[in-house]
Chains A and B, each alone.
Chain A
Amino acid sequence: MTDLLEPRAIGADLVRRDGELKVRGTATYAYETPVEHPAYAHPVQATIARGRVTAMDTAAAEALDGVLAVLTPFNAERLAATDDAEYAVLQGQDVGFRGQLIGVVVAETSELAREVADGITVRYEELPHDAELSADRPDLYAPEQVNAGHETDTAEGDVAAAMAAAEVTLERTYSTAMYHNNPLEPHATTALWESAGDGFLTLWDSTQGVHPDRAAVCQVFGLEQEQVRVICPYVGGGFGSKGLPHANVMLTALAARALPGRPVKLALTRQQMFFLAGYRTPTIQRMQLAADSRGRLSAIAIDVVEQTSKVKEFAEQTGVPTRMMYASPNRRSTHRLAALDVPIPSWMRAPGECPGMFGPEVAMDELAEELGIDPIELRVRNEPDVDPETGKPWSSRNLVRCLREGAERFGWSGPRAHRDGDWLVGTGVASSVYPTMRQATSTANVRFEDGRYVAEIGAADLGTGAWTILPQITADALGVDVADVDVRIGDTRYPVASVAGGSSGTNTWGSALVVAAREFRTKFGADPRDGDEASGDVDQAGQDDTHSPYAFGAQFVEARVNADTGEIRVPRLLGVFGVGRVINPRTARSQLIGGMTMGLSMALHENSAWDPRLAQVANHDLAEYHITVNADVGAIEAHWIDEHDPYVNAMGSKGIGEIGIVGTAAAVVNAVHAATGVRVRHLPVTLDKLLTALP
């Protein structure tokens, strides 16, 4: 049990501290950093998916007035570490996926850099590529582990026997599409290499973590931490894609090193982000459920097939939520990968849980239909007393409360389908889950400076609200008014902080801040002097290992399908969540509705249409890769229950950045099924999949 803070500032509805700068547009993002006399870089990308670059004709480009550098695999400096193939930019002639970086042009203007980069003739020795995922490939393999260190496969009991013996069984295959994070701010870096002494590199980079970013750059370039500073006060969204640096950061640093003293700016184009900034793998999920006639599960199993890149492995942990979500004596989960000549997949909002709660939550709806049981009731009947995977008690599990309260608020009772003029209307529900995590590393300083309390930590605010809520936590830990606290984040000059990922930022940084603040009070009492300072590490904060910590939620959807055209609209989306204590209801609500809207986007719109002949996403821009627009969004409500969890951390917070996207797509599919009778098991739900069933 941890010592929960007495909430005073925590829970207060405070306006974002960075708000005024953002509504005026004067908050400066990485590419926009004002620097003296910048140079502009534009990448060269491979136009084959597999083979070798045999020659690049750069002579004409180099001779052009205004061109400052042209780097290729043939002339780029050798990097200190090349074991991470994603980061080993321009270190060899091999091409492992279409769009791979094979050069960079630096010029006096961005127009010239782009013109020259686009004009370089590249000769290749092209090899046949293999870029098509399917569940029946003979070369699927089991990775050593899946993302976040989870086991690849788990099994308990005998699923096959339970399936054979059960009164009701369900066996279905579901799939989710390939998705690209597409933060509105493209991945961008301004880099300045100063060659005096051993050299010093400053990166103004768009990143979810300045410290992890710096660590990767130091490793690749063989630099000491003291030689690199990463600055990032504002991030134009990331959703995981800026959690770790991608190759563009290394390329920009390489370009800057070729031009000491000259700041070099490089922003990926929107199209380039479909090759270089990570993505969520498509997933194929074979589900098996066995139950008695009352809906009690006797088996639940998920077998996942997904892809990775031959260049670098990333194994999305799609099967993980099935391991703990519902009670069942017989359980199995497996992950199999196809390694392909494709760009490198990576983190995207709620990796694992987001795709991994699609199949199971649609399957539960299908089972409920089969049994003639209300889908909420089916979930309630399979509520586990303890975590089925670990056997530990829950730190708090309020899924049933979320379902019940959601049903009440949404108006769930009554028929799930009706017709309203030209529209077929249906409702659907699904559960949400996300683990409560805290990272192992983070340090905070608290100092008394000019009559104010200043907290420093190299954290990130990618729209999550960290600028606003970290002062709230610090104020309560110090027992002062939040208005008397300043927080400084987004710079490696401040103490080390973990990545803003896994919904762990607040839990981790907040814990360090609380330790530092308590340490400060212990050392200096209630009446500190100017310059008094204390620091605290997250590993000094109380840690409970005896409970299983998760956030839960329930999402409700009203879907309308046009009886003539099959067009799908979702006028209502309502979520109720148990996410521990909410630090700031304003920013928390924004996080939850943002996640739910992205879930809606996944359900209806997002689909990186993969062209296996070219080994690229065919629709690689924002006109064709659709994300939800304003007109797609009706009423979206996010509520939370009053949850007091003494086991997670001093704030009592569970993390809210990701749970909103978990389950939404399943709820939409379930609602569309209610409206039309069509069960769309392969996302996205588009009108062409409904046409034949329309009146």
Chain B
Amino acid sequence: MDAEITLRVDGEAHRLTVDTRTSLLDALRERLGNTSPKKGCDHGQCGACTVLLDGDRALTCLALAVAHDGAEITTADGLAPAGELHPVQQAFLDSDAFQCGYCTPGQVCSAVGVLEEFERGWPSHVTEDLTGRPEMSHDEVAERMSGNLCRCAAYVNITPAVQQAGGAR
């Protein structure tokens, strides 16, 4: 069954027809040709499809496109204008925080979400004092970035990259 929806992706509005079954991920990749969110598992088990969905990091493989009619989506490609890089992207380059690059746009979007969550003072599983404001420590960042698998295992570079970008803000 088809449905017509509008998505605002990286600042640009798109009107498109999707199957009710179409995930937001497939809508972006197969209907709009946006390759930034990646399909690593299609089940919410790897994080490669992470985007900022209405401002928060979210998994597009577990979102039905039809349920997000009118959504504002920012992919890694939309974080900075062409020819420029977002501070998180620059930090990933500087720290060599990736190898094959397949999980990378999802890591980058996730990191942008993580920095915003620090800004809001959100706690994490490793926050000792739940009532306080968490510090941007190694353990805090590593826990918060754990929803993004990296099989090349660039983790030891990803964590400092996120910290660097967080400090640069």
A20, B85: Cβ atoms closer than 8 Å? yes
**A16, A462, A628: the one within 8 Å of B96 (CB):** A16
Contact string against B for A residues 241-265, beta-carbon threshold 8 Å, 1 for contact and 0 otherwise: 0000000000000000000000000
A627, B40: Cβ atoms closer than 8 Å? no
Contact string against B for A residues 629-650, beta-carbon threshold 8 Å, 1 for contact and 0 otherwise: 1110101100000000000000
Residue of B nearest to A238 (CB): B100
- CB-defined contacts of B158 to chain A, threshold 8 Å: 630
- CB-defined contacts of B146 to chain A, threshold 8 Å: 629-631
B142, A631: Cβ atoms closer than 8 Å? yes
A631, B143: Cβ atoms closer than 8 Å? yes
A25, B77: Cβ atoms closer than 8 Å? yes
- CB-defined contacts of A627 to chain B, threshold 8 Å: 149, 151
Residues 580 to 612 of chain A near chain B (Cβ within 8 Å) = 586-587, 589-591, 593-598, 601
**A23, A591, A595, A629: the one within 8 Å of B105 (CB):** A23
The number of residues on chain A lying at the interface, defined by a beta carbon within 8 Å of a beta carbon of chain B, is 63
Rounded to whole angstroms, the CA-CA distance of A392 and B107 in the bound complex is 47
Rounded to whole angstroms, the CA-CA distance of A590 and B37 in the bound complex is 23
Q: How far is the CB of A607 from chain B (nearest CB, A)?
A: 16
**A32, A594, A596: the one within 8 Å of B99 (CB):** A594
A463, B100: Cβ atoms closer than 8 Å? yes
A24, B76: Cβ atoms closer than 8 Å? yes
Residue of A nearest to B78 (CB): A24
**B89, B104, B149: the one within 8 Å of A629 (CB):** B149
A185, B102: Cβ atoms closer than 8 Å? yes
**A19, A183, A465, A630: the one within 8 Å of B155 (CB):** A630
Say if the beta carbon of B13 comes within 8 Å of chain A.
no
Rounded to whole angstroms, the CA-CA distance of A22 and B36 in the bound complex is 9
Binds B, one of A166-174, A229-237, A280-288, A382-390: A229-237
Contact string against A for B residues 6-49, beta-carbon threshold 8 Å, 1 for contact and 0 otherwise: 00000000000001011000100110010111111111111010
Rounded to whole angstroms, the CA-CA distance of A597 and B151 in the bound complex is 9
A463, B145: Cβ atoms closer than 8 Å? no
Rounded to whole angstroms, the CA-CA distance of A587 and B44 in the bound complex is 29
**Known A-B contacts A32-B35, A270-B43, A623-B43; A587 and B100 likewise in contact (beta carbons under 8 Å):** no
- CB-defined contacts of A16 to chain B, threshold 8 Å: 93, 96
Say if the beta carbon of B60 comes within 8 Å of chain A.
no
Contact string against B for A residues 27-47, beta-carbon threshold 8 Å, 1 for contact and 0 otherwise: 111011010000010000000
A601, B153: Cβ atoms closer than 8 Å? yes
- CB-defined contacts of B36 to chain A, threshold 8 Å: 24-26
Residue of A nearest to B162 (CB): A630
**Known A-B contacts A23-B89, A186-B39; A589 and B96 likewise in contact (beta carbons under 8 Å):** yes
Q: How far is the CB of B36 from chain A (nearest CB, A)?
A: 3
A236, B153: Cβ atoms closer than 8 Å? no
Rounded to whole angstroms, the CA-CA distance of A186 and B42 in the bound complex is 10
Rounded to whole angstroms, the CA-CA distance of A630 and B79 in the bound complex is 23
B45, A623: Cβ atoms closer than 8 Å? yes
A29, B102: Cβ atoms closer than 8 Å? yes
Say if the beta carbon of A15 comes within 8 Å of chain B.
yes
Rounded to whole angstroms, the CA-CA distance of A596 and B153 in the bound complex is 9
Interface centre among A110, A234, A591 (most CB of B within 10 A): A110
- CB-defined contacts of A235 to chain B, threshold 8 Å: 100
B100, A32: Cβ atoms closer than 8 Å? no
**Known A-B contacts A594-B154, A597-B155; A26 and B101 likewise in contact (beta carbons under 8 Å):** no
**B41, B48, B154: the one within 8 Å of A590 (CB):** B154
Say if the beta carbon of A269 comes within 8 Å of chain B.
yes
**B92, B96, B148: the one within 8 Å of A586 (CB):** B96
**Known A-B contacts A184-B100, A630-B142; A25 and B37 likewise in contact (beta carbons under 8 Å):** yes
Contact string against A for B residues 94-126, beta-carbon threshold 8 Å, 1 for contact and 0 otherwise: 101011111111001000000000000000001
A630, B40: Cβ atoms closer than 8 Å? no
Say if the beta carbon of A109 comes within 8 Å of chain B.
yes
- CB-defined contacts of B89 to chain A, threshold 8 Å: 20, 23-24
- CB-defined contacts of A184 to chain B, threshold 8 Å: 38, 40, 46, 48, 100, 102-103, 149-152
Rounded to whole angstroms, the CA-CA distance of A631 and B159 in the bound complex is 10
Say if the beta carbon of A548 comes within 8 Å of chain B.
no
Q: How far is the CB of B35 from chain A (nearest CB, A)?
A: 4
Rounded to whole angstroms, the CA-CA distance of A630 and B151 in the bound complex is 11
B102, A111: Cβ atoms closer than 8 Å? no
Q: How far is the CB of B95 from chain A (nearest CB, A)?
A: 9
Residue of A nearest to B21 (CB): A111
Q: How far is the CB of B115 from chain A (nearest CB, A)?
A: 15
Interface centre among B40, B75, B108 (most CB of A within 10 A): B40
Say if the beta carbon of B67 comes within 8 Å of chain A.
no
Say if the beta carbon of A534 comes within 8 Å of chain B.
no
Say if the beta carbon of B127 comes within 8 Å of chain A.
no
Q: How far is the CB of A284 from chain B (nearest CB, A)?
A: 26
- CB-defined contacts of A596 to chain B, threshold 8 Å: 153
- CB-defined contacts of A25 to chain B, threshold 8 Å: 35-38, 75-77, 104-105, 108
Residues 132 to 165 of chain B near chain A (Cβ within 8 Å) = 139, 142-143, 145-146, 148-159
**Known A-B contacts A23-B104, A29-B102, A185-B38; A633 and B26 likewise in contact (beta carbons under 8 Å):** no
Rounded to whole angstroms, the CA-CA distance of A28 and B85 in the bound complex is 18
Say if the beta carbon of A621 comes within 8 Å of chain B.
yes
Say if the beta carbon of A94 comes within 8 Å of chain B.
no
Q: How far is the CB of A411 from chain B (nearest CB, A)?
A: 19
Q: How far is the CB of B49 from chain A (nearest CB, A)?
A: 11
Q: How far is the CB of B150 from chain A (nearest CB, A)?
A: 7
Instruction: Give A residues with C-beta under 8 Å from B.
Output: 15-16, 18-29, 31-32, 34, 40, 109-112, 115, 182-186, 234-237, 239, 267, 269-270, 462-465, 586-587, 589-591, 593-598, 601, 621-623, 627-631, 633, 635-636
Can you name 19 A-B residue pairings with CB atoms under 8 Å? A15-B94, A19-B93, A20-B89, A23-B98, A26-B36, A28-B35, A111-B21, A183-B151, A184-B40, A462-B100, A463-B152, A590-B96, A591-B99, A594-B99, A596-B153, A597-B153, A622-B45, A629-B149, A630-B159
Instruction: Give B residues with C-beta under 8 Å from A.
Output: 19, 21-22, 26, 29-30, 33, 35-46, 48, 75-77, 79-80, 85, 89, 92-94, 96, 98-105, 108, 126, 139, 142-143, 145-146, 148-159
Can you add 13 more A-B contacts, CB < 8 Å, to A237-B102, A631-B126?
A16-B96, A22-B101, A23-B105, A25-B75, A110-B26, A184-B152, A270-B46, A462-B99, A586-B96, A593-B153, A593-B154, A622-B43, A633-B156
